[in-house]
């Protein structure tokens, strides 16, 4: 473990790093051991509380994950024994589950952890089981997202509440209800197999991407808690892609997030407004993230099992390939959107396709393509349509479109961007930048 404090003492940053990277693994292992998410969470939190007390003086152990899981298991067993002695049937059942799984009191030496757990692959299996449990279709999507961030990301309830702009009490109730539903419905703690896997995997991927998008739509002036969601989604995406290397859609989602994230530094103006992809300073893009995303896209193409995330990643890879906006291969992007419409038809895909259509065949053809999409409650529909109207010099109609988009926008960054476009349309086309999608 790198990053020790002075003379081997652990700093707060050291412990925070271990917490972020090992919390989910520890909860996953303890959930399998005791058959209860609540018992696992309490035990792991107790173990990290002990780490905060001991590591600043002793330093981070050689195997921090092993130390946390071993300590958590001891704490859970001690607590359950006390409660079982008071005829607590739940505690007795959890102790029995631990005994049946062969995971009774663990050796104190943290170096024994991996051997005790029968290897890293078993721990990875536990993490996958927990991911699929968090994203079980019996739970509402909002509950799936909250549980994933709580159990696998280690985010606190207040942090998740701030990220999704809801009261802390609301988020706490959401988490309690979700865990109760898993317990009462006896949701199986396993990775789906066979024909069940594709649909369930899509749910997991959708949750990770929703977390990413929630953070990515936040501008610099918005809550920092939301901005941190991108990093957590990428971390979860890396974890999922590594645990399921034979699932190209998992790789495709990771590639998509990396390619989008590579543009973050150029995406916002000094006032916090969005900067269009077409006018971003490409020198500010993160070349390492873009290169990694492009390599993952090539890996997906070699598999020749296209899916929605892979195709969206390929579209973003084409944008990243262009040294300047004028070099963009719009013909290839349009072809990829045609493929995306074939495998995942929907009005939002058709709207994005129309942007490429406008570049190749002009705004009139694109305007015809977006009519009747049924996206009146989607701010980007009105913004994109207004861009086409500006290019056709139909400025009063464009201004009305930007007003409707502004009324539906969800973040301060989006509002600043649209206010600039509205001023341009209202003044007869002297707008802020070229028409295009925000990057």
Signed CA dihedral, 408, 413, 418, 423: sign only? positive
Whats the size of the chain, residue-wise? 439
Q: What angle do CA 316, 135, 257 make, to 5 degrees?
A: 15
Q: Flag whether pLDDT at 311 surpasses 70.
A: yes
Q: Flag whether pLDDT at 87 surpasses 60.
A: no
Residues 6 or more apart whose CB falls under 8 angstroms from that of 423 comprise 431, 432
pLDDT (mean) for 132-142: 88
Q: Compute the chain's Rg from CA coordinates.
A: 25
pLDDT (mean) for 101-114: 44
Residue 157's pLDDT band (boundaries 50, 70, 90)? confident
Residue carrying the six token digits 């990775």? 191
112 vs 420, residue with greater confidence: 420
Let me know: does 152 contact 41? Beta carbons within 8 Å. Answer: no
Q: What is the pTM of this model?
A: 0.79
Give dist(CA 284, CA 269) in Å, integer. 12
Q: In the numeric block, which tokens belong to residue 285?
A: 């893009």
Closest CA to 388 of 415, 413, 359: 359
Among 100-114, 206-220, 224-238, name the one with the lowest average pLDDT. Answer: 100-114
Tell me the per-residue pLDDT of 314-333, one tens digit each, with 9 for 90 and over: 999 999 999 999 999 999 99
Give dist(CA 48, CA 147) in Å, integer. 19
Tell me the per-residue pLDDT of 42-82, one tens digit each, with 9 for 90 and over: 999 999 999 999 999 888 888 888 899 999 998 888 888 87
pLDDT at 223: 52
3-class secondary structure, 276: strand
2 vs 331, residue with greater confidence: 331
Taking the CB of residue 155, how many other CB atoms lie within 10 A of it?
22
Residue 33's pLDDT band (boundaries 50, 70, 90)? confident
Tell me the per-residue pLDDT of 254-269, one tens digit each, with 9 for 90 and over: 999 999 999 988 988 8
pLDDT at 1: 39
183 vs 400, residue with greater confidence: 400
Tell me the per-residue pLDDT of 323-369, one tens digit each, with 9 for 90 and over: 999 999 999 999 999 999 999 999 999 999 999 999 999 999 999 99
Tell me the per-residue pLDDT of 376-406, one tens digit each, with 9 for 90 and over: 999 999 999 999 999 999 999 999 999 999 9
pLDDT more than 70, % of the chain:
84
């Amino acid at each position: 473990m790198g990053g020790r404090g002075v003379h081997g003492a652990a700093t707060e940053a050291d412990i925070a790093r271990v917490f972020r990277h090992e919390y989910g693994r520890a909860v996953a292992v303890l959930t399998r051991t005791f058959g209860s998410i609540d018992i696992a969470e309490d035990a792991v939190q107790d173990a990290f509380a002990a780490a905060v007390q001991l590591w600043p003086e002793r330093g981070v152990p050689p195997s921090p994950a092993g130390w946390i899981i071993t300590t958590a298991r001891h704490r859970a067993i001690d607590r359950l024994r006390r409660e079982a002695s008071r005829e607590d049937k739940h505690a007795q059942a959890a102790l029995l589950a631990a005994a049946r799984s062969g995971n009774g009191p663990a050796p104190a030496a943290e170096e024994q952890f991996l051997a005790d757990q029968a290897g890293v692959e078993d721990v990875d299996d536990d993490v996958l089981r927990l991911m699929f449990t968090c994203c079980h279709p019996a739970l509402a999507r909002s509950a799936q997202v909250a549980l994933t961030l709580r159990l696998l990301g280690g985010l606190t309830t207040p942090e998740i509440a701030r990220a999704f702009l809801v009261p802390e009490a609301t988020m706490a109730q959401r988490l309690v209800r979700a865990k109760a539903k898993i317990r009462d419905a006896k949701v199986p703690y396993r990775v789906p197999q066979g024909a069940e896997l594709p649909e369930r995997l899509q749910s997991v991927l959708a949750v990770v991407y929703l977390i990413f998008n929630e953070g990515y739509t936040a501008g610099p002036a918005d809550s920092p808690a939301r901005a941190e969601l991108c990093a957590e989604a990428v971390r979860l995406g890396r974890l999922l892609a590594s645990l399921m290397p034979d699932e190209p859609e998992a790789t495709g989602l990771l590639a998509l997030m990396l390619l989008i994230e590579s543009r973050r530094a150029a995406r916002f103006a000094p006032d916090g407004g969005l900067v269009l992809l077409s006018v971003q300073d490409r020198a500010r893009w993160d070349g390492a993230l873009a290169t990694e995303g492009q390599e993952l896209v090539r890996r997906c193409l070699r598999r020749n099992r296209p899916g929605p995330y892979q195709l969206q990643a390929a579209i973003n890879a084409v944008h990243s390939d262009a040294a300047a906006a004028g070099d963009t291969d719009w013909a290839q992007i349009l072809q990829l959107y045609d493929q995306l419409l074939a495998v995942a038809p929907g009005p939002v895909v058709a709207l994005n396709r129309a942007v490429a259509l406008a570049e190749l065949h002009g705004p009139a053809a694109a305007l015809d393509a977006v009519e009747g999409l049924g996206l009146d409650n989607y701010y980007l529909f009105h913004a994109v349509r207004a861009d086409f109207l500006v290019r056709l010099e139909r400025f009063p109609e464009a201004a009305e479109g930007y007003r409707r988009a502004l009324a539906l926008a969800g973040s301060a960054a989006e509002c600043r961007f649209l206010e600039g476009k509205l001023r341009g349309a209202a003044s007869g086309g002297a707008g802020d930048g070229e028409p295009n999608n925000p990057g």
